[in-house]
Amino acid sequence: MEQKIALLAGDGIGPEIIREAVKVMDAVGAKFGHRFTYEKGLVGAAAIDATGDPYPEATHRICQEAGIVLFGAIGDPKYDNDPSAKVRPEQGLLRMRKSLGLFANIRPLVMFDALADRSPLKREIVQGADFVCIRELTGGMYFGRPQGRSEDGNTAYDTCVYTREEVERILHLAFKQAQTRRKKLTVVDKANVIATSRLWRQIAQELAPAYPDVTLEHMFVDNAAMQLIQWPTRFDVIVTENLFGDILTDEASVISGSLGMLPSASVGAEVALFEPIHGSYPQAAGKNIANPMATILSAAMLLEHIGLRQEGAAVRSAIDEAVRSGIVTEDIAEKGVQTYTTSQVGDYVAAFIRG
């Protein structure tokens, strides 16, 4: 198989972790007889510095033509600390999602047994946790109109808007995801208060008969927030709207004990983008200490998305072996135990795949 991949390294540690993911992808290609080619594009602060635009048209074309994107991270303190900045790196991320039609963010969380004691929760609570959060990306309050402030500046307003089409497409995706797993879908909403949530609940119930093998449940977002901490193993697939999903996926990410272990995918009708959920971690940039495993696991999701399930499983097995063997960066290493650099972890995973 031959596959072109758009590479958007981005800012901070982005170039370092993307480099290790490419190393692993090339190991997969060598092992299984595939050829991956890469085209680089600028995004975020790096793109602002070069072009004045956090998501240049040239980068957009690269992503569209490839159809598959491997993305690092966005963000730079020089923009965070400048209140007068008119263009910010994060604007590029929102525009990229919107212009590529990436309507669903998929975040799997698997609790590695060797890391269960690193979780802020007790081992007996998190051990065996294995669920997927699916967040709608293009609708809701982040994009709703009208939005703004009153003339005197003392009142602000945002509008949460969802259409049937937006809700149906992500619920179909969630039902199908549940069919490949333990066949349980939790739709998170606030239907007792919010009109858009009632639309979500109505459409979920309308679609459910088409997926008779999936058990559907509804849960208010405040209850879901509590149960994610109290009983994370009860969940299989969770789907929710943009704002709720933004909050719940960040809450869920803490369960594993390290953001450096969590991959994600953002998918649309024509393009799919794969990225670690963590940020650009500028304090670690250039130091070769960042954890590349979330990015490598994002590459595994990429492989599975294009139909290479055996290859994706090989990457996951290599990561599992690295964790069990202690070939990890400082963020998840046991105290007093030798730690490994970003590139050393990538080398180990790639070598394990090659056999």
Indicate the pLDDT class of residue 142, thresholds 50, 70 and 90. confident
Could you give the CA distance from residue 264 to residue 278 in angstroms, rounded to a whole number? Answer: 10
Could you give the CA distance from residue 104 to residue 91 in angstroms, rounded to a whole number? Answer: 18
Q: Is the per-residue pLDDT at 81 higher than 80?
A: no
DSSP state letters, 163-195: -HHHHHHHHHHHHHHHHTTTSEEEEEE-TTT-H
* Beta-bridge partner residues of 276: 263
Q: Is the per-residue pLDDT at 259 higher than 90?
A: no
Helix, coil or strand: residue 73: strand
For position 143, what pLDDT does the model report? 85
- 55: annotated active-site residue: no
The token duo for 297 is 């696991």
Interacting residues of 254 by C-beta distance below 8 A, sequence separation 6+: 119, 120
Host H or E run for residue 7: strand 2-10
Contact by Cβ (8 Å): 305, 108: no
For position 108, what pLDDT does the model report? 95
For position 71, what pLDDT does the model report? 98
For position 78, what pLDDT does the model report? 87
Could you give the CA distance from residue 240 to residue 331 in angstroms, rounded to a whole number? Answer: 30
Q: How many CA atoms lie within 13 A of 138 on its CB side?
A: 20
For position 169, what pLDDT does the model report? 96
249: closest CA among 123, 106, 115, 354?
106
Cβ burial of 174 (10 Å; 0-12, 13-18, 19+) is: buried
Catalytic residue chosen out of the listed positions 142, 162, 211, 348: 142
- 31: annotated active-site residue: no
Mean pLDDT of 56-80: 95
Q: Is the per-residue pLDDT at 84 higher than 90?
A: no
- 82: annotated active-site residue: no
Residue the block writes with tokens 């497409």 = 169
Mean pLDDT of 224-244: 97
Q: What is the model's pTM?
A: 0.90
Indicate the pLDDT class of residue 144, thresholds 50, 70 and 90. confident
Contact by Cβ (8 Å): 259, 112: no
- 246: annotated active-site residue: yes
Q: Which residue has the higher pLDDT, 14 or 78?
A: 14
Measured CA distances, 180 to 158, 176, 214 (Å): 37, 7, 10
Catalytic residue chosen out of the listed positions 55, 79, 190, 281: 190
- 76: annotated active-site residue: no
Q: Which residue has the higher pLDDT, 45 or 144?
A: 45
Average pLDDT of the chain is 95
The model's pLDDT over 183-228, given as tens digits with 9 standing for 90+, comes to 999 999 999 999 999 999 999 999 999 999 999 999 999 999 999 9
Catalytic residue chosen out of the listed positions 82, 113, 117, 250: 250
Indicate the pLDDT class of residue 98, thresholds 50, 70 and 90. confident
Interacting residues of 280 by C-beta distance below 8 A, sequence separation 6+: 10, 11, 12, 13, 14, 44, 72, 73, 74, 75, 76
Q: Is the per-residue pLDDT at 80 higher than 80?
A: no
Q: Is the per-residue pLDDT at 168 higher than 80?
A: yes
For position 24, what pLDDT does the model report? 98
Catalytic residue chosen out of the listed positions 82, 113, 117, 222: 222
**Alpha-carbon dihedral sign for residues 126, 281, 44, 65:** negative
Domains of the chain, CATH where assigned: 1-108+259-355 (3.40.718.10), 120-256 (3.40.718.10)
Cα-Cα end-to-end distance for the chain = 20
For position 79, what pLDDT does the model report? 85
Residue the block writes with tokens 């980068």 = 59
Q: Is the per-residue pLDDT at 245 higher than 90?
A: yes
The beta-strand segments (E) located in 74-220 are 104-110, 130-136, 148-149, 156-157, 184-189, 215-220
Interacting residues of 232 by C-beta distance below 8 A, sequence separation 6+: 109, 111, 121, 125, 126, 129, 131, 252, 255
Cβ burial of 208 (10 Å; 0-12, 13-18, 19+) is: middle
- Percentage of the chain modeled with pLDDT above 90: 84
